[in-house]
């Protein structure tokens, strides 16, 4: 019976920790840095397969300005103000060069949201476009991507029904069409 109570507590604590991560706007990688654990260990805590240790709770508390006993107390509601605590602002400043730690930098790291915001929403795909044109448009906006990455992002956006595509004969540099078929994309 005692073992079951510990497991239940660990599951509830895992949900609490996940909620803290969400409240702080952190990715798992950033939360792992915050608590001084590996990503794998953090995932195990989220799932309730690993207990939150005192040293980890102490470190988390120090980084967000809460005593560890409040973190362990499931009846205590974690205040939203921890996002703006001096301790957490210090963490954000220390790791500002690690955009992969923070959810609000996700668009900067992922190509699909970038294409939606800077190309699709700006009517770049109002007429059919080749991948090479999208690569060039990204470059002009300051994002230097390979045609392979842009193709993957565009294919994903077609699967999500954000864009449409079809195969057409490749346009050669001299303006004629070649024998090979490639995809064009439009809205």
Q: Could you give the CA distance from residue 148 to residue 183 in angstroms, rounded to a whole number?
A: 13
How much is the pLDDT for 105? 74
What is the predicted pLDDT for the residue at 2?
60
Judgement on whether residues 74 and 13 belong to the same structural domain of the protein: yes
Strands (E), the chain: 129-130, 164-171, 177-186
Domain end call among 68, 103, 138: 103
Q: Summarize pLDDT for 77-105 with one digit per residue, the tens.
A: 999 999 999 999 999 999 988 888 998 87
Q: Are residues 10 and 96 in the same domain?
A: yes
- 45 and 7, same structural domain? yes
Residues 94 and 165 in one domain: no
Running DSSP on this structure, what letter comes out for residue 49?
A: S
pLDDT at 107: 60
State which residues of the chain have pLDDT below 70.
1-4, 6, 106-109
Predicted TM-score (pTM) above 0.85: no
Domain CATH for 114: 1.10.10
Q: Are residues 97 and 13 in the same domain?
A: yes
Of the residues 52, 85, 103, the one at which a domain ends: 103
- pLDDT the model gives residue 100: 84
Count how many domains the chain has.
2
Q: Does residue 87 share a domain with residue 114?
A: no
Specify whether 13 is located in the same domain as 82: yes
Label residue 122 left, alpha or beta by phi (over 0 means left) and psi (-120 to 50 means alpha).
Answer: alpha
182 and 90 both lie in a single domain: no
- Domain housing 11: 2-103
pLDDT score of 91: 97
Q: How many residues does the chain have?
A: 187
Residue 31, pLDDT score: 98
Task: Indicate whether 17 and 96 sit together in one domain.
Answer: yes
Instruction: Mark whether 50 and 97 lie in a shared domain.
Output: yes
Which CATH number do you get for residue 18? 1.10.260.40
């Amino acid at each position: 019976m005692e073992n079951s109570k510990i497991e239940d507590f660990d599951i509830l604590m895992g949900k609490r920790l996940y909620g803290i991560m969400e409240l702080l706007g952190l990715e798992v990688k950033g939360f792992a840095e915050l608590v001084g654990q590996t990503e794998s260990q953090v995932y195990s805590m989220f799932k309730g397969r690993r207990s939150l240790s005192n040293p980890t709770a102490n470190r988390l508390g120090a980084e967000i300005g809460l005593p560890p006993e409040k973190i362990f107390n499931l009846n205590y509601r974690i205040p939203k103000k921890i996002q703006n605590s001096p301790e957490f602002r210090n963490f954000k400043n220390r790791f500002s060069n690690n955009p992969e730690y923070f959810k609000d930098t996700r668009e900067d790291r992922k190509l699909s949201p970038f294409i939606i915001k800077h190309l699709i929403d700006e009517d770049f795909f109002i007429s059919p476009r080749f991948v090479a044109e999208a690569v060039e448009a990204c470059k002009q906006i300051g994002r230097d991507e390979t045609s392979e990455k842009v193709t993957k992002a565009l294919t994903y956006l077609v699967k999500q029904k954000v864009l449409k595509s079809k195969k057409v004969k490749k346009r050669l540099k001299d303006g004629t069409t070649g024998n090979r078929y490639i995809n064009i994309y439009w809205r």
